[in-house]
Amino acid sequence: MGITVKAPGTCGELVQGAINGQNFLITCPINVYSTVEIGFGQQQTSSIGDKTRTAVKKTLAYLQQSAAELTIAAKSELPIGKGMASSSADIAAACQATAQYFGRVLTADEIADIALAIEPTDGIFYPGIVMFDHVSGSIRRLLGAPPTIYIAVFDVGGEVNTQRFNQRDDLAALNAAKESLVQQAVELVTEGLRYGDSQMIGRGATLSAVANQTTLYKPCLEKVIEIAERYGAVGVNAAHSGTVLGILFPASERSQMSSCIKTVSAACSGITYWRIVEMISGGLTTVEG
């Protein structure tokens, strides 16, 4: 009998940048998942990525356990290279499933330490919405639970390697140049989460997405924002080191999503609609067999 853990992906981030040279992001977890199962046996039951395999090995080392006769099975609904935290979800689920197989439950901080030793990581394994330093882990702050927000996810195309993105020579300067806008975005999203105000969250996310255009340009973003406002959306967010855009709708305007999606698709031929998701609180879930 194996242990299966699922981890949510993201639609990019609500905010990302640096303040006073300190890297951080504000998570945007969604109800789309990666799952990892750890069991007993001599054969792997599915092909798994190198990062998932590394997460298992590092967790075993942390727990001082042997890797003998473990099977690892993984599957994911999340596309790779799009800024949807596919690697972070795989790694987090692998860490927790491995620990639970040996009777341990890792804290989110323990998972963060293991994940950050592999690559820059999203904080989707923390419950709620968090501000998290995705490079060194020096910020780990709960901001609250999200109000009901539905997201129409679009992809501008291509792939981005998160590790290489965070190693860009010009990234610190670009982050410094947009710092004042990012600070405003943080304040809006933080207050929005405190009061359950989707309008404030949407405004902050939009501000951060626009500020990121000088770092990783998203074609048609300005047009998407204009159309989104027309259909009652509260804002647009972006994968700051990926290729997705999200149009954020409060529950009261969900009926407008289909028309908005059609209008954006007609106006912006270079981007592709993916699906509607819901923003959720982050955190890992053990899947009962």
Q: What is the pLDDT of residue 47?
A: 67
Q: How far apart are the first and last CA of the chain?
A: 8
Q: pLDDT tier at 188 (50, 70, 90 boundaries)?
A: very high
Kindly state the tokens that stand for 267. 């106006």
- Over residues 101-114, the pLDDT tens digits come to 999 999 999 999 99
Check pLDDT > 60 for residue 100: yes
- In the predicted model, is pLDDT for residue 210 greater than 60? yes
The pLDDT of 161-170, averaged and rounded, is 87
CA 257 to CA 249: how far, in whole Å?
A: 8
CA distance 246 to 156: 11
The 10s digit of each residue's pLDDT in 28-82 is 999 999 999 999 875 555 568 899 999 999 999 999 998 777 899 999 999 999 9
Residue 108 β-bridge partners: none
CATH number corresponding to 3-287: 3.30.230.120
Nearest to 112 by CA among 83, 72, 78, 141: 141
Per-residue pLDDT at 180: 96
**pLDDT value, residue 124:** 98
What pLDDT is attached to residue 1? Answer: 67
Q: Residue 130 is which amino acid?
A: V
Residue 43 is predicted with a pLDDT of 53
pLDDT of residue 166: 86
Determine the pLDDT at residue 289: 62
pLDDT category at 280 given cuts 50, 70, 90 is very high
Q: What's the mean pLDDT in 252-274?
A: 97
pLDDT at 286 over 60: yes
Q: Is 88 in contact with 28 (CB distance < 8 Å)?
A: no
Average of pLDDT values for 243-265? 98
Is residue 234 predicted with pLDDT exceeding 80?
A: yes
